[in-house]
Amino acid sequence: MPVPVEAPGVLLRLEGVEQYYGEKIKILGPIDLDVREGEFLSLVGPSGCGKSTLLRIVAGVLKPTSGTVRVGGRALNGVNTRAAMVFQSFALFPWLKVVENVGVGLEARGLPPRERLKKAEKYIDLVGLSGYERAFPRELSRGMKQLVGLARALAVEPELLCMDEPFSALDVLTARTIRDLVLDLWASPEVMTKSILLVTHSIEEAVAMSDRVVVLKANPGHIADEVDLHGLPRPRRPDEPQVRETVDRMYALLA
Amino acid sequence: MGGAVLALLLPASVVLGAFKLYRLFVSRPPAPELAGIPVDLLLSFLRVAVGVAVSAVVAIPLAWMLARGPRARGVALAVIQILASIPATAFFPLIVVLLTWGMSMDAGAVLLALTTMFWYVLFNVLGAASTIPKEMQEAARALGLRGRRYLRRVFVPAVLPGLITGCVTAWGAGWNAMILCEYLEAGRRVYQVRGIGATLDRATYLTGDLQVVAASLASMVLLIILVNRLFWDPIYQRVAARYKMEA
């Protein structure tokens, strides 16, 4: 079933992606899904539905058992260099200073030290951590650590930002602040990122942030539904009737 | 109850021991070997230091290879565990063969010591490597950190606390090994090399001079404690503060 590649406005396409655990147990798929240019796409679903696995396949850190990931029309083989990842556990390198953590992806891309530093400082500034360049991760609060994780991902200037439960380890207020920051940065001309793929178990979070929500269900992980939220005006406050109604509708979908 | 007995026995034995030692050293003129103890210590120190350095230099790439190739790891670990469980004395014949082929006894002593020292370093480094969280490995991969850059930026820093712990343990084991390695009897031949272990062995098995035994033991223990306190402890503190994984 070859699909005509490079449909306009498609950043990344999953074709028949399946993931097995061992030889026999299928945990995911087959999944067909497009990530479109300029959209904020969320994957929601209960634990075990394979949403984090799917995100890792998109980022190219996990090779699917079968199926293809197409980026810019080409089949992905290895790490998706047009994507970057933000993790629930932040996954910072404790022995590197903030500026080194943010610059380490640029180093891997062969940027000379001076440009690396300049770019790292730019993104540290964008997430509001100026002054903390020389700090070590252990000296920072959880929220600040995730800001470093965000800056580190943005610094490699990815077209696609992949976020795996990025706000789940944060307190409610910090999570809200960083959520707003992500949306602001995404809209900002300073940031190159075109699309964002968010994995979350929080329907409220998905509704507050996304243009489109894909609902996954388990055994094996498959796409159960898709909700278009382009029509829902931003910014979306949780107490607005339209937002609440959408959240309720999505809970019904997941039930 | 047991504590009270211990609290009495311990100081009593210390006092008694000190008195006996005192008698041992004033009752007669010092043995001629005592003057050589500083040089003995220095030579043994160098051997143990070389053993620790060699262990560290070999353990890191080996652990790196084991951590990278999940398929080879099972077999390799089994082999390593078997090798590690063989006592140093079982390597005697091998070392003796190498010696008769012309290897220097200095190298022989270090090599034999390595058969006990190396495993402490390797297993501690392997243990530390297994503490690298999955998400951190994924982050490194997503950022494009591969090969030598991953080694330098992630693997080596992550195993550094384990490496130091392993080196401290190997350092202690190395001194223990010196007593075994600097003075070998195989067949009717004696292979020996100058060092505190050889001096201690000769005093124990040949001359039976308790003065030399006490002096070489005491000086060795003192040196070990000093190096632990002044060298290893500060290094470990600094490494742990910066390189330990966060909880």
Helices (H), A96-201: 98-108, 113-126, 142-155, 172-187
- CATH homologous superfamily of A10-82+194-254 equals P-loop containing nucleotide triphosphate hydrolases (3.40.50.300)
> How far is A56 from A76, CA to CA, in rounded Å?
13
pLDDT of residue A1: 46
Task: Give B160's contacts in chain A (Cβ within 8 Å).
Answer: 95
Task: Give A61's contacts in chain B (Cβ within 8 Å).
Answer: 138, 141-142
Indicate whether A4 pLDDT > 80. no
pLDDT of residue B247: 57
Nearest to B79 by CA among B49, B119, B127, B139: B119
Mean pLDDT confidence for B69-77: 75
CA B183 to mean position of chain CA atoms: 17
Best A53, A58, A61 residue to mutate vs chain B (most B CBs within 10 Å): A61
Look at A104 and B143 and tell me if their CB atoms are within 8 Å: yes
* Beta-strand pair A222-228/B183-186: unpaired
B138 touches chain A (CB under 8 A): yes
Look at B139 and A109 and tell me if their CB atoms are within 8 Å: no
Indicate whether A243 pLDDT > 90. yes
B133 touches chain A (CB under 8 A): yes
pLDDT of residue A7: 62
Mean pLDDT confidence for A2-13: 71
Q: What residues contact B40, with CB distance under 8 A and at least 6 apart?
A: B194, B195, B196, B198, B199, B216
Q: Which two tokens stand for residue A223?
A: 């796409």
> How far is B20 from B66, CA to CA, in rounded Å?
52
Mean pLDDT confidence for A108-121: 96
Look at A88 and B242 and tell me if their CB atoms are within 8 Å: no
pLDDT of residue B230: 97
Look at B153 and A105 and tell me if their CB atoms are within 8 Å: no
* Beta-strand pair A66-71/A74-75: antiparallel
Residues in chain A whose Cβ is within 8 Å of chain B: 56, 59-61, 79, 81, 83-85, 87-89, 91-96, 104-105, 107-109, 136-138, 152, 156
Mean pLDDT confidence for B151-171: 97
Domains and CATH numbers, chain B: 34-243 (1.10.3720.10)
CA distance to partner chain B, nearest, from residue A239 (Å)? 35
Look at B136 and A88 and tell me if their CB atoms are within 8 Å: no
Indicate whether A191 pLDDT > 80. yes
Chains A, B: CB pairs < 8 Å: 63
- Residue A221 pairs with which residues in a beta bridge? A28
Indicate whether A50 pLDDT > 50. yes
CA distance to partner chain B, nearest, from residue A109 (Å)? 7
Neighbours of B86 (CB within 10 A): 12
For residue B222, the surrounding DSSP H or E stretch is helix B210-227
B152 touches chain A (CB under 8 A): no
What does pTM read for this prediction? 0.89
Best A85, A95, A148 residue to mutate vs chain B (most B CBs within 10 Å): A95
Compute the radius of gyration of chain A from its Cα atoms. 18
Task: Give A86's contacts in chain B (Cβ within 8 Å).
Answer: none
Mean pLDDT confidence for A230-244: 93
On average, the pLDDT of chain A sits at 94
Of the pLDDT bands very low, low, confident and very high (cuts 50, 70, 90), residue A150 is very high
